[in-house]
Chain A
Amino acid sequence: MAAFFNFLAANPFILLFVTVGLAVWLGRQSVAGYGLGMVAAAIIVGCGLSVWASVYGEKLELNNFTKSLFYYLFMYGVGLRVGPSFVNSLGGDGIKFTFLAFVSCIIGLALVVLGARFLELPPGAAGGMLAGSQTMSAAIGSAEQAVTAGAIALPPGSTPEQVSAMIALSYGITYIWGTVGIILITKYLPKWWGVDARAAAQAYEKEHGVASGDAPAFSGWTAGGLRAYRLENQAWVGRSMHDMLRENPEYRFVNLVRDGAPIGAPLDEPLRLGDVIALGGLREAMTEKMGLIGPEVSDRTALDLPLDRAEILVTNGGILKQTREQWRALPGVDQIQVVGLERGGAPIPIGKDTKLQRMDIVTVVGLKSAVSKVGEAFGRVVRPSTATDLLTLSLGMILGFLIGQIEFPAFGAKVGLGNAGGLLVSGVLVSSVASRLRFFGNTPAAARNVLEDLGLVVFVAIVGINAGNSLLAQLTGVLALKIFLVGFVACTIPPIVVWAIGFHVFRMNPAVLMGGVAGARSHSGPCREAAVEIQSNVPWIGFPVGYAVSGVLLTVFGYFAMVLAQ
């Protein structure tokens, strides 16, 4: 075993992979429906490995660069996820979530301060307990600010260094329940209240049209169809498809098969008897003019064509001034079919007199070359892709860091969103802009899930591994027990109060409220767990507003906790 831990200590990245793998596995196990979830499991696995290794005299330690790098990726991923729906759901409930965040933070602060005074804990403990039990590490900074700014009177015989050490120690002791506790509580609040959050989420999805991300079932009815006909109508022999499409503009011409061989879609080729013509169009058009060409045939050669489905972002203002007739003369127009139109994030039904506007997103299906040609005339063609736009990802990350730098002076400390908050905001900004414009910032759901899941689990695993080292030493003594107890209470009570207010007073949807509870504690882990638990993205809708508000409040409260507890 010693050699094994020696290997892990020498190859810390391998240690990280094994921790991640075991954590996700452990997180999936459940006993009577109660499972840990991968975040709590990562702390336990990390601590466990670390403590086990210390038995053999190996110190497992992972560096902070990796920790914060993955944490930042996680926050940005969360921003990307919530972006489009956040912008759509602003207004209305925003005030309620802000209120809940205030309630949660103030109760947390009050409990920490009362606990510190009642149990006569040494100076510094209050700030650390607040930061740990509310899992807001930025509060450590503001708590220390209270010491250096001279806002608290040091008891005789103690030094500022001792107070700082006490902040860190109390943070370490309370942090673990601070994370695990809020995750478990948020996850099981609906159960304790006897509410089916999964059903509530589905109801919400139905009402507000939030996609749940399940594999879509399609309908036996399709808007467009593609059929092949054998030319038997003498009237068309010798004339070209060009003429036929001028007289019957509702059809799209995609393929011509002559003597068993497909010859593409030549518009000017004179037709011969027995040619098989593949036509596309709206389904009702296909059944309307039976016999125009001849009998329908089931000719695989004619119909087995690769069809391209793409979105076109309309940017070319000039072409919108042209008439429909002029559009019909564009090359390729006869070979594509418009199947959808989206304006400002909402689908618009297409009618005969629907007018296109700039920034509309038009979904078309047709031959690839035709889609490209028409797309270029109207604006930009956006094809679905499994590749992530790394340039936009990097720029978005940079933007997030810059937003995080914006600070306001308050109470002697500087208050800002911090890097993590800034990244959340930039994720929201980038994804809401990208969801409207489409041609940049492509991040497939699978890739975003990697950013989020891997980001969070790696971050937490590193916290666990690094905490494990000093965990045993910290947990001895009455002082540690007292700190732990105060942290336990300060972590446990606020979310329950928030839930009760949200559920009974505001009558919020339980699925949304789960996100609200997590947001009020400024911790995305429980929201992620809630989303997994009820298999829906709905909790994320309740998350961002509270997150932003409580993030700022808790950071400031680190200072308050120190001042009020003396």
Chain B
Amino acid sequence: MAWFEAFLVKYPELALFLVIAIGYAIGGVKVGGFSLGPVTGSLFAGILVGQFAHVPVSGMAKSFLFLLFLFGIGYSVGPQFMQALKRDGLKPVLLAIVCCVTGLLTAVVVAKALGLDPGFAAGLVSGALTESPAMGTATEAINALPLPVDERARLVAHIAVADAVCYIFGAAGLIIFVSVVAPKLLGIDLPAEAARLEQELGIARKAPGVVSAYRRFEVRAYRLGADAQAVGQAVAALEARNAVHRLFIQRVRRNGELLEAGPDLVLAVGDVVAVSGRREYLVELVGPRAEEVEDRDILDVPVAAVDVLLTSRDLAGRRLDEIAESDFARSLYLRGVRRGDQDLPFAPHLTLQRGDLVQLVGPEPVVAKAASRIGVVVAPTTATDFVTLGLAIFLGGLAGVLITVPIGDMRISLSTSVGTLLAGLLVGHLRTRFPLFGRIPDGAVSLMTALGLAAFVAMTGLHAGPIFLTSLAEAGIGLFFGGALVTLMPLIVGLYFGRYVLRMNPILLLGGLAGAQTMTAGMAAVQERSGSPVAVLGYTPAVPIGHILLTTWGTVIVGIVS
């Protein structure tokens, strides 16, 4: 195995991907209908590989990928966040307070029962509740104790040992609790519950590849019989007569030749005409009066469907029915109008505003011309806006460090991770207002979140793995079980408090529990199992409170136990 260890240490990147691969493999194995899922799987795989080799993964890469993940989940729920916050934003906050206080009380009881010294007790809090900054505050508090230097150094070392012992269950136990045990205790089906919540919040989820079979607009080909009314009429006159219905003639086939339908072209018996229009008008008005034919060539008009952001000053403030009469609107159809994050029901008297997203469909040249009159085309893209991504995470991280909450004589910062999450929410929210700002395609968000999280969790495992056994030997097995109790107690109390006192939506409750103990991977596991990102809506209001309280506990526990 020595060569294997040397190999992993020489190529830490390889070790990382090995851990992710093993994590996905064991996360997918089902035993009696229960599977760990990739998040827990990667954590365990990391710990496992960590037993063979002390892989030198860098904390910086871990943080970088973690922030990428946080930004991604913030971005994907940004549009719904304000709404969810308005609806029940205070509940996750209350939940977080209850969980954190329970955690502290349990830790105090465990510390007294096991007779832990302040160092072990502080490590118990930071590890079991997975809040590493608490180690920092506890170290400060211990160094302020009236003890000899040697004794203080010994206690400070104990913090790290206890943290290492309790951290693994603190992470894995929480992930399994919120994603597997808690749904069973609540008696709910995660995917169904998430789907219901999505519906309540008005999230329309589009599965790729699934489309409605209904086509609002169609092009059909008809042969003009001898008795057709259209015979002998010019195209322009015909279209003018049906102006209300907006039926347009695209092309004409006469004696086998294709003709473009100019306004002056006069139709004759035997012509095949390609007519575009709304389906119901074609079926009800044209269908009964003309014989439909299959003619691929005449129908093979290149059609484009684009979303255009209205920026033109001429068109803003005008009504749809006025615009429909303009020249450029000939054979142009409107699929919908979006303003902000809402679809407007469109009626002829609807007045357009700048910033509206106008959804057009029609023959390609017509759409292109109209789009240039209206504003900027918002085309689907596979490119990610790295400028917004990079600068938003930077500013979010900066804000997270600069915004501090004074507690006693300490200032506790919001942390870069909370700042980044908020930056993601903000960019995601702004995107609905400004469709061209900060565009990140779904596939890219999904990669950033999945890879970011898997790599983060795997590296956490790789970090914790090598020191776990030695620490356990030093601190004793009792501490491990004590830590498990400290991890689980606040979750159980919080679960029933949230369910019966706060009456929270179960998905938001589970997200909130993960937030209260600042374990993002737990929230991600709920997302994964519910097949929906909504759990983050419960997580986000809770996590800043969790960070602040748990960090403070580092000082408090040292004070109480010593």
Which A residues form the contact surface with B (CB < 8 A)? 7, 11-14, 16-25, 28, 38, 62-63, 65-66, 68-69, 72, 213, 215, 217-221, 226, 254, 278, 280, 283-284, 286-288, 290, 295-298, 300, 303-310, 368, 383-388, 390-391, 393-395, 397-398, 401, 419, 443-447, 449-451, 453-454, 457-458
CB distance from B133 to the nearest CB of A (A): 14
Stretch at the interface among B169-177, B287-295, B486-494: B287-295
B283: chain A residues within 8 A (beta carbon): 296-298
Q: A11-B416, A14-B394, A445-B382 are in contact. Are A220 and B274 (CB under 8 A)?
A: yes
CB distance from A448 to the nearest CB of B (A): 8
The reply to whether B390 and A386 form a contact with Cβ atoms under 8 Å apart is no
B381: chain A residues within 8 A (beta carbon): 446
The reply to whether B12 and A17 form a contact with Cβ atoms under 8 Å apart is no
Q: A397 CA to B207 CA in the complex, in Å? A: 29
Q: A456 CA to B452 CA in the complex, in Å? A: 17
The reply to whether A217 and B443 form a contact with Cβ atoms under 8 Å apart is no
Closest 6 CB pairs of A and B: A21-B390, A444-B443, A446-B443, A447-B447, A446-B441, A298-B280
CB distance from A532 to the nearest CB of B (A): 9
Q: A387-B450, A398-B14 are in contact. Are A13 and B213 (CB under 8 A)?
A: no
The reply to whether A221 and B300 form a contact with Cβ atoms under 8 Å apart is yes
The answer to whether B557 has its CB under 8 Å from any CB of chain A is: no
Q: A384-B209, A390-B454 are in contact. Are A220 and B250 (CB under 8 A)?
A: yes
- How many B residues touch A, CB cutoff 8 Å? 84
The reply to whether B294 and A288 form a contact with Cβ atoms under 8 Å apart is yes
The reply to whether A388 and B451 form a contact with Cβ atoms under 8 Å apart is yes
The reply to whether B364 and A391 form a contact with Cβ atoms under 8 Å apart is no
A66: chain B residues within 8 A (beta carbon): 58, 60-61, 64
CB distance from B249 to the nearest CB of A (A): 13
Q: A17-B393, A450-B384 are in contact. Are A308 and B17 (CB under 8 A)?
A: no
Q: A220-B219, A447-B446 are in contact. Are A11 and B397 (CB under 8 A)?
A: yes
Closest to A216 in B: B304
CB distance from B26 to the nearest CB of A (A): 11
The winner among A66, A303, A395, A397 for most chain B CB atoms within 10 A is A66
CB distance from B52 to the nearest CB of A (A): 15
The answer to whether B380 has its CB under 8 Å from any CB of chain A is: yes
The reply to whether A306 and B447 form a contact with Cβ atoms under 8 Å apart is no
The reply to whether B208 and A384 form a contact with Cβ atoms under 8 Å apart is yes
Closest to A454 in B: B386
Q: With contacts A17-B64, A218-B305 known, what are 9 further pairs, Cβ within 8 A?
A: A21-B387, A22-B390, A65-B13, A66-B60, A218-B302, A219-B299, A386-B441, A397-B13, A451-B447
Closest to A15 in B: B394
Residue of B24, B212, B287, B301 near A219 (CB, 8 A) is B301
CB distance from B372 to the nearest CB of A (A): 16
Of residues 367 to 398 in B, which have CB atoms within 8 Å of A's CB atoms? 379-384, 386-394, 397-398
Q: A71 CA to B106 CA in the complex, in Å? A: 46
Q: A552 CA to B342 CA in the complex, in Å? A: 57
A11: chain B residues within 8 A (beta carbon): 63, 397, 401, 416
The reply to whether A447 and B443 form a contact with Cβ atoms under 8 Å apart is yes
Q: A65-B58, A307-B212, A384-B209 are in contact. Are A298 and B391 (CB under 8 A)?
A: no
The reply to whether A305 and B364 form a contact with Cβ atoms under 8 Å apart is no
A298: chain B residues within 8 A (beta carbon): 279-280, 282-284
The reply to whether A287 and B394 form a contact with Cβ atoms under 8 Å apart is no
The reply to whether B448 and A307 form a contact with Cβ atoms under 8 Å apart is no
The reply to whether B13 and A72 form a contact with Cβ atoms under 8 Å apart is yes
B379: chain A residues within 8 A (beta carbon): 215
The reply to whether B390 and A65 form a contact with Cβ atoms under 8 Å apart is no
The answer to whether B442 has its CB under 8 Å from any CB of chain A is: yes
Residue of B24, B279, B292, B394 near A18 (CB, 8 A) is B394
The reply to whether B294 and A283 form a contact with Cβ atoms under 8 Å apart is yes
B443: chain A residues within 8 A (beta carbon): 386-388, 444-447
The reply to whether A449 and B383 form a contact with Cβ atoms under 8 Å apart is yes
The answer to whether B296 has its CB under 8 Å from any CB of chain A is: yes
Q: A509 CA to B271 CA in the complex, in Å? A: 45
The answer to whether B210 has its CB under 8 Å from any CB of chain A is: yes
The reply to whether B67 and A13 form a contact with Cβ atoms under 8 Å apart is yes
CB-defined A-B contacts under 8 Å, sample of 18: A11-B63, A18-B390, A18-B394, A20-B390, A22-B391, A28-B387, A65-B13, A219-B301, A221-B219, A307-B210, A383-B209, A384-B208, A391-B21, A391-B28, A397-B14, A401-B13, A446-B384, A454-B386
The reply to whether B300 and A220 form a contact with Cβ atoms under 8 Å apart is yes
Contact with A along B440-471 (1 / 0, CB 8 A): 01111011101100100000000000000000
The reply to whether A63 and B397 form a contact with Cβ atoms under 8 Å apart is no
Closest to A19 in B: B390
Describe B's contact surface by its main secondary structure: helix
Q: A288 CA to B293 CA in the complex, in Å? A: 8
CB distance from B366 to the nearest CB of A (A): 12
Q: A297-B283, A300-B214, A383-B209 are in contact. Are A401 and B300 (CB under 8 A)?
A: no
CB distance from A460 to the nearest CB of B (A): 13
CB distance from B416 to the nearest CB of A (A): 6
A308: chain B residues within 8 A (beta carbon): 209-210
Contact with A along B253-272 (1 / 0, CB 8 A): 00000000000000000000
B24: chain A residues within 8 A (beta carbon): 390-391, 394
Q: A69 CA to B55 CA in the complex, in Å? A: 14
Closest to A307 in B: B213
Q: A503 CA to B21 CA in the complex, in Å? A: 45
The winner among B11, B209, B364, B448 for most chain A CB atoms within 10 A is B209
A215: chain B residues within 8 A (beta carbon): 306, 379-380
The answer to whether B350 has its CB under 8 Å from any CB of chain A is: no
Closest to A226 in B: B213
A221: chain B residues within 8 A (beta carbon): 219, 296, 299-301
Residue of B11, B61, B301, B386 near A21 (CB, 8 A) is B386
B292: chain A residues within 8 A (beta carbon): 287, 290
Residue of A14, A218, A443, A447 near B398 (CB, 8 A) is A14
Q: A278 CA to B11 CA in the complex, in Å? A: 60
Q: A20-B390, A219-B302, A220-B250 are in contact. Are A395 and B212 (CB under 8 A)?
A: no
The reply to whether B303 and A217 form a contact with Cβ atoms under 8 Å apart is yes
Residue of A16, A17, A449 near B382 (CB, 8 A) is A449
The reply to whether B60 and A450 form a contact with Cβ atoms under 8 Å apart is no
CB distance from B196 to the nearest CB of A (A): 18
Q: A444 CA to B210 CA in the complex, in Å? A: 17
Q: A98 CA to B387 CA in the complex, in Å? A: 37
The reply to whether A13 and B60 form a contact with Cβ atoms under 8 Å apart is yes
CB distance from A87 to the nearest CB of B (A): 22
The reply to whether B444 and A18 form a contact with Cβ atoms under 8 Å apart is no
Closest to A447 in B: B447
Q: A218-B303, A220-B219, A297-B283 are in contact. Are A383 and B390 (CB under 8 A)?
A: no
The answer to whether B38 has its CB under 8 Å from any CB of chain A is: yes
CB distance from A355 to the nearest CB of B (A): 25
The reply to whether A383 and B391 form a contact with Cβ atoms under 8 Å apart is no
B387: chain A residues within 8 A (beta carbon): 21, 24-25, 28
Closest to B363 in A: A220
CB distance from A124 to the nearest CB of B (A): 25
Q: A306 CA to B302 CA in the complex, in Å? A: 25
A213: chain B residues within 8 A (beta carbon): 382
The reply to whether B450 and A386 form a contact with Cβ atoms under 8 Å apart is no
A226: chain B residues within 8 A (beta carbon): 213, 215
The answer to whether B20 has its CB under 8 Å from any CB of chain A is: yes
Closest to A402 in B: B14
Q: A394 CA to B401 CA in the complex, in Å? A: 34
The reply to whether A304 and B363 form a contact with Cβ atoms under 8 Å apart is no
Q: A305 CA to B214 CA in the complex, in Å? A: 7
The reply to whether A65 and B447 form a contact with Cβ atoms under 8 Å apart is no
The reply to whether B448 and A397 form a contact with Cβ atoms under 8 Å apart is no
The answer to whether B558 has its CB under 8 Å from any CB of chain A is: no
The reply to whether B57 and A447 form a contact with Cβ atoms under 8 Å apart is no
Q: A302 CA to B478 CA in the complex, in Å? A: 66
A288: chain B residues within 8 A (beta carbon): 294
Residue of B20, B284, B305 near A390 (CB, 8 A) is B20
Q: A287-B292, A388-B451, A398-B17 are in contact. Are A453 and B384 (CB under 8 A)?
A: yes
